[in-house]
Structure 1
Amino acid sequence: MISFQLSEQQKQIKEMTHWFAANEIRPIAMEADRLGKVPDEWLDKVNKMGIHLNTSSFSGGGGEESSRKSKKEREGNRMGVLATEQMAWGCPAITLSLPGAGLGGPPVQSSGTPEQKERFLSIFTKEKPRWGAYALTEPEAGSDASGVKTTATKVDGGYILNGQKIFITNGGRASWVVAFATVDSTLGRAGQRAFVVEKGTPGFSCTKLVKKMGLRANETAELLFEDCFVPDENLLGGEKLYEASSNKPSGFQVAMKTFDSTRPIVASMAIGIARAAYEYTLDLVRQEYPKGGETSALAAEMLAEVEQNIAAARLLTWEAAWKADFGLPNAKEAAMCKAYAGQMSLDVCSKCMELLGPIGLDGHLVEKLFRDVKIFDIFEGTNQIQHLVVARRQYAAYEVRV
């Protein structure tokens, strides 16, 4: 049974990250949003403090076979959701801008060879800020990740990549990008491969930094591969990982496995945003509306529902992280918490804007959070895609029972 009691280490992580969010992130959040970037000197400072967004320390749930085996308890996923909720409470855009492997970390950690893990994950040190990135989305392949059009043509010593990637978090400044491409479009998902493409590789370029409604302080890039040669040693997992066999993954499966660990992280960030909007609004409502009045009662009822929904989203997210830590299949739970938390946070921010009225207009924290939160029911798979993931597993379970 899941325990809702935090361990001493988990309490320390929660307290430490909240202190950092309150004292280092929140004070610069509004200015970073206005400028559209996080100050370089701030990134240098936090990097020297050893604070990185290394989601490679989180691991997804296992398959059916791993669920039958005893697993040594891990805490990385639970630590991750605790920490990212607090950091996003400070500012989600700044949290996503922290140096580290970011979303590129999980596929390297889970599918990379020992040499690749050492080579690509060891660069994140206190020496200077560095970033990793995850490049899956294309103009014609977003929710349907199986529709990737970027090609990888085999040549002596490596592959030639051609194609475009869009909406890539930290893609312009990343030291390397995990990019997904197909070696044979007729094979569908089975033809996909994952490559680590390093910054400065000929034929690989950042063509645009996207201006956005929300998360303005976080860099979002468009990337282009034009006859870009990637050596064999940068094929994630090596050739053997993709050999024809019933238990060998494709690049598509590598991408989906990544989501099982990162979707709870995205959900926890949405929860942090909702909590920030709720707490800010609650404080102002207490000041502006005298206790006992009709308006005060209405506001109290709305905020009570908000607090309830935040708590429900948190418990869903903790379950998904708990399963991942024990090596249990968690794809359904990861999809459920991501879908619920994203929509919940959007609803919370909308309600808070209604309650605040003119106080919540441009230049105030809740207005910024309202802009930031919309992407959380879109990226890492839209809510509709999450519902499909859940539905497929429901039907699969039904077929097993009958």
Structure 2
Amino acid sequence: MIYLEVPKKLRMLVNQARQTADHVFRPISRKYDRAEHDYPVELDMFAAIMDGMNDALEDGGAGSGKLRQGKKDSSQIQNGINMTTVLGLAELCRGDVGLSLTLPRQGLGNAAIAAVANDEQLARFGHKWAAMAITEPGCGSDSAAVRTTAIKDGDDYIINGEKIYVTSGERADAVVVWATVDKTLGKAAIKSFVVEKGTPGMEVTRLEKKLGIKASDTAAIRFNDCRVPRANLLGTEEVNIDKGFAGVMQTFDNTRPVVAAMAVGVATASIERTKELLKEQGIDIDYKRPAKLSSYIKAEVYRMEAELEAARLLTIKAAWMADNGQPNSIEASISKAKAGRVANDVTLKCVELLGTVGYCEDELLEKWARDSKILDIFEGTQQIQQLIIARRLLNKSSSELK
């Protein structure tokens, strides 16, 4: 069974993440919000914190615990890398989501590597900073519609295509690229390849200017006859029509709870700061009266805290299932859908409740509201998550329920 308190062995690591958020991220948060695309050099020394959080349990980066590594014996409960990453990032994102995303060696591509890589690949790539390149111009949230190709040529694959919105695409040591090995076979032919920085034929063409998470670089990358060793293909070369692209999609079972945790973190920060500012104005959130008998402001804070707690518990459940060998695809989508929506709702409502105080740059509340929007978009939009959940609950295929 799931125990809802923070596991004893993780409390020190969670506390370290909280201290980093409060004393490292927040003091430089506004600086890198204004200086978009500048690399936060202050983070280099703190990357070891997240490395320690991962290495304390097993190799890998954010959300990198493999489902197949979880223990099947229900009498041996395991809190592994998934739980560690979720709890740690929730705390770090109380400080700054963009800075959390740009910590060296904590890229979303690390989750893809750990989800489907073999032991030899884990040894080569496990400690590299890996970005993940899925989205393409014109294909948006439909991961199965990728048009980037990877054509086999002897012991190599030649990749051609363009990827956009690649988080840490310029700064990372490698990029995990989703490409099709045969366009005629549909989504079953989509494979993921590790392309290391500096590989001829891979070019960062631009960095995006964004609404939020400005401390994190978001790149567009073009691949022009980019030759990648066959050994860099993650998972099997075989194209299995029946299985589809379940192997590469397993990545999302790990990364969606990670994004949910980020959303929980930024929403937590907003509520905490709102309560502090309200208290300064004589509005103390004391929980002495039920919401229906309280003022509008107090009732809204109670509602937001209830929604946040629901999102937090769903996120913990999805991570716990991954660590304990239980298929969590539907729970991963539920946690991401709930937490992403809650983060948007909570951060904007906090700005609204505080009026000009929340809207101006004197407080980080307006920044948190801008940062929160991406958490409802990347790793699958709110609408995509609801569609995935509906398909699984109704046992419908993607062709049957669009």
Task: State whether TM-score is above 0.5.
Answer: yes
Find out whether 1:95 has 2:95 as its counterpart. no
The 3 A distance-change label for structure 1 pair 259 and 372 is same
Q: CA deviation at 1:23?
A: 1.2
SS in 1 for 2:326: coil
Match of 1:256 among 221, 232, 249: 249
* 1:257-272 paired onto structure 2 within 5 Å: 257-272=250-265
Q: Deviations over 1:17-40 (max 9, x none)?
A: 111211111111111111124654
Contact 2:66 2:322 in 1 (8 A): yes
Q: 1:59 aligns with which of 50, 62, 65?
A: 65
Taking a change above 3 Å as real, the CA distance of residues 375 and 244 of structure 1, as seen in their structure-2 partners, is: closer
Q: Per the alignment, in what secondary structure is the counterpart of residue 267 of structure 1? A: helix
- The aligned counterpart of 1:127 is none
Equivalent residue, structure 2, for 1:242:
237
Partner residue in 2 for 1:120: 125
- CA contact 1:2–1:319 (8 Å) conserved in 2: yes
SS in 2 for 1:90: coil
Distance 1:244 1:351, change over 3 A: closer
Report the Cα offset of residue 57 of structure 1. 5.9
CA distance in 2, matches of 1:4, 1:90: 23
1:71·1:327 contact (CA, 8 Å) conserved in 2? no
Q: Is the 2:61–2:127 contact (alpha carbons within 8 Å) kept by the matching residues of 1?
A: no
Change (3 A) 1:50 1:73: closer
Kept after mapping to 1: 8 A contact 2:63/2:254: no
**Residue number in structure 2 paired with 1:161:** 159
TM-score, normalised with respect to structure 2: 0.88
Q: Secondary structure at the match of 1:166?
A: strand
In structure 2, how many angstroms separate the alpha carbons of the residues matched to 1:34 and 1:169?
Answer: 18
Match of 2:371 in 1: 372
1:394 matched to 2:393? The reply is yes
Task: Provide the aligned C-alpha RMSD in A.
Answer: 2.5
1:270-292 per-residue CA deviation (whole Å, 9 max, x = no partner) reads 01111111111111111124569
* Aligned: 1:174 with 2:169: no
State how far apart, in whole Å, the 1-side matches of 2:50 and 2:298 are. 41
1:82 matched to 2:91: no
**8 A Cα contact 1:167 1:220, kept in partner:** yes
- Quote the residue 1:207 is aligned against: 205
1:356 maps to which of 340, 354, 357: 354
CA-to-aligned-CA distance 1:31-60 (integer Å, 9 cap, x gap) = 111112465431332246665885356325
Aligned counterparts of 1:70 and 1:254: Cα–Cα separation in 2: 28
- Contact preservation (8 Å) 1:281, 1:352: yes
**TM-score, normalisation: structure 1:** 0.88
| Structure 1 residue matching 2:141: 3-state secondary structure | coil
Matched residue SS, 1:278? helix
Deviation at 1:72, TM superposition (A): 6.6
Tell me which amino acid in the other structure corresponds to 1:46: F
Any residues of structure 2 matched to 1:133-144 within 5 Å, and which? 133-144=131-142
Q: 1:336 to 1:184 in 2, by over 3 A?
A: same
Residue 236 of structure 1, CA deviation: 1.9
| 1:113/1:385 CA distance change after superposition, 3 Å | same
Question: 1:390: Cα distance to partner?
Answer: 1.1
Paired residues of 1:267 and 1:317 also in contact (CA < 8 A): yes
Residues 209 and 222 in structure 1, CA contact (< 8 A), matched pair in contact too: yes
Residues 212/175 of structure 1: CA separation in 2 closer, same or farther (3 Å cut):
same
Higher mean alpha-carbon deviation, 352-361 vs 65-74, is at 65-74
The answer as to whether partners of 1:56 and 1:109 remain within 8 angstroms in 2 is no
Matched, 1:104 2:109: yes
AA aligned to 1:204 is M
Q: Measured at CA, do residues 60 and 71 of structure 1 come closer, stay the same or move farther in structure 2, by a change above 3 Å?
A: farther
Quickly say closer, same or farther: Cα 1:394–1:201, change in 2 above 3 A.
same
Corresponding residue of 1:400 = none
* Deviates further, 90-99 or 34-43: 34-43
Q: Contact between 2:188 and 2:240, CA under 8 Å: does it hold in 1? A: no
Counterparts in 2 of 1:40 and 1:118: CA distance versus 1, 3 Å: same
Displacement, 1:388?
A: 1.4
CA distance in 1, matches of 2:106, 2:89: 15
Deviations 1:318-346 (A, max 9, x none): 11111111110110110001000000111
Q: Tell me, in whole angstroms, the C-alpha distance in 1 between the residues paired with 2:284 and 2:198.
A: 61
Q: CA deviation at 1:5?
A: 2.8
| Number of the residue aligned with 2:291 | none
SS of equivalent to 2:295: helix
1:307 is aligned to: 305
Contact 1:57–1:76 under 8 Å retained in 2: yes
Which position in structure 2 is the counterpart of 1:128?
none
Residues matched between the structures, number: 381
Partner AA of 2:152 in structure 1 = K
Name whichever structure is richer in helix by fraction.
1
3-state SS of 1:134 partner = strand
Question: Does the C-alpha gap of structure 1 residues 200 and 30 become closer, same or farther in structure 2, counting only changes over 3 Å?
Answer: same
Q: Which amino acid aligns with 1:25?
A: F
Structure 2: which 5+ residue stretches go unaligned? 55-59, 286-293, 397-402
Indicate if the aligned counterparts of 2:185 and 2:241 stay in contact, CA closer than 8 A.
no
Query: How far has the Cα of 1:356 moved from its partner?
Result: 0.8
